[in-house]
């Protein structure tokens, strides 16, 4: 299976196609998901609080939400929602990379010397993200409710059971369409931009590959996050109360009525920083862990990819 090309450009890149077995992609994806999730959970928490409280008409900003969170529960409170976030992000990241690599192998003909164009990367990234996000959506709903501070669930399992009993499948998969409209464009844009930026940076001689991966990830993540942020606000509102906010258009009208056009940008700052760093960390860790796993299990890798 083939992860993101090492030397991509906006056009077709030249180089050898690399076949990575599923267990390598899964292991690298799980590791990258774990690192980024734990490190960046406070930003996700503040983003959700800004979207919830700002949408309720309260005057709020990043610093006021940070102070309120620290005052209510200390430093530990910044990691509220980490457990459902880990349940969602870590296996979700692994699933995303495995699906992405499967799509890359399917799209790229065997023996082809070309890698992937920006368009192909966009299609593969969007498809992989939709699949992974759909499978993990119930945990996303629980994570959003944990972070909002409006729900008092005793555990992740208890939350899933409570939502299923009181709201059914509609509650567990609330905001599904909004999530798809956010994640598919984000991943498509991110992967296409990442490949393009990384190809350009690779032309600069003497830079270690880890810095190239990180810089390309930061640049791509910033642009993709900004473009897809309004969908994230809509998704959050729908997942907190899917009876009041039952449709995308209805939720959009409510946001405009309550907070105006600025409502679509609630929490944009911490989300852009979080998603940018998350994507950069994830891809950097992924590309550093993959060769380690390939060296650690050369026989299994060879037999799986043959």
In SS3 terms, the chain reads as CCCCCCCCCCCCCECCCCCCCHHHHHHHHHHHHHHHHHHHHHHHHHHHHHHHHHHCCCCCCHHHHHHHHHHHHCHHHHHCCHHHHHHHHHHHHHHHHHHHHHHHHHHCCCCCCECCCHHHHHHHHHHHHHHHHHHCHHHHHHHHHHHHCCCCCCCHHHHHHHHHHHHHHHHHCCCHHHHHHHHHHHHHHHHHHHHHHHHHHHCCCCCCHHHHHHHHHHHHHHHHHHHHHHHHHHHHHHHHCCCCCCCHHHHHHHHHHHHCHHHHHCCHHHHHHHHHHHHHHHHHHHHHHHHHHHHHCHHHHHHHHC
Category of 156 on φ-ψ map: left (φ > 0), alpha (ψ -120 to 50) or beta = alpha
Q: How much of the chain, in percent, has pLDDT values that exceed 90?
A: 35
The answer to whether residue 3 scores a pLDDT higher than 50 is: no
Bigger pLDDT: 172 or 218? 172
pLDDT of residue 238: 95
pLDDT of residue 1: 31
The answer to whether residue 11 scores a pLDDT higher than 50 is: no
Mean pLDDT of the chain: 81
What pTM, to 2 d.p., does this model score? Answer: 0.73
| Interval 40-58: pLDDT, tens | 999 999 999 999 888 666 6
Bigger pLDDT: 101 or 169? 169
Bigger pLDDT: 288 or 15? 288
pLDDT of residue 147: 93
How would residue 112 be classed by pLDDT, with cut points 50, 70 and 90?
low
pLDDT of residue 141: 96
Nearest to residue 262, comparing CAs of 127, 120, 30, 61? 61
294, 24 Cβ separation under 8 angstroms: yes
pLDDT of residue 237: 95
The answer to whether residue 12 scores a pLDDT higher than 50 is: no
pLDDT of residue 176: 94
| Interval 220-273: pLDDT, tens | 888 989 999 999 999 999 999 988 899 999 999 999 898 888 899 999 999 998
């Amino acid at each position: 299976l083939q992860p993101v090309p090492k030397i991509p450009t906006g056009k077709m890149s030249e180089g050898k196609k690399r076949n990575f077995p599923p267990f390598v992609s899964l292991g690298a994806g799980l590791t990258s998901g774990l690192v980024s999730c734990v490190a960046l959970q406070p930003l996700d928490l503040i983003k959700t609080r800004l979207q919830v409280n700002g949408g309720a008409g309260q005057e709020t900003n990043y610093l006021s939400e940070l102070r309120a969170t620290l005052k209510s529960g200390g430093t530990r409170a910044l990691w509220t929602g980490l457990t459902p976030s880990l349940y969602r992000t870590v296996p979700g990241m692994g699933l995303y990379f495995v699906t992405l690599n499967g799509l890359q192998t399917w799209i790229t003909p065997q023996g082809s010397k070309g890698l992937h164009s920006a368009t192909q990367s966009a299609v593969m990234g969007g498809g992989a993200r939709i699949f992974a996000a759909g499978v993990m959506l119930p945990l996303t709903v629980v994570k959003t409710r944990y972070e909002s501070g409006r729900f008092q669930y005793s555990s992740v399992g208890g939350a899933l059971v409570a939502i299923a009993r009181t709201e059914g499948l509609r509650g567990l998969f609330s905001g599904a369409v909004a999530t798809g409209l956010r994640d598919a464009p984000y991943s498509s844009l991110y992967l296409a931009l990442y490949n393009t930026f990384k190809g350009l940076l690779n032309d600069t001689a003497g830079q270690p590959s880890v810095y190239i991966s990180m810089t390309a990830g930061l640049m791509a993540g910033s642009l993709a996050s900004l473009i897809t942020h309004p969908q994230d606000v809509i998704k959050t509102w729908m997942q907190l109360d899917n009876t009041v906010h039952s449709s995308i258009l209805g939720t959009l009208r409510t946001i405009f009525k309550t907070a105006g056009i600025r409502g679509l940008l609630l929490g944009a700052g911490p989300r852009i920083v979080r998603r940018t760093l998350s994507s950069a960390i994830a891809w950097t860790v992924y590309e550093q862990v993959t060769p380690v796993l390939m060296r650690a299990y050369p026989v299994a890798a060879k037999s799986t990819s043959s």
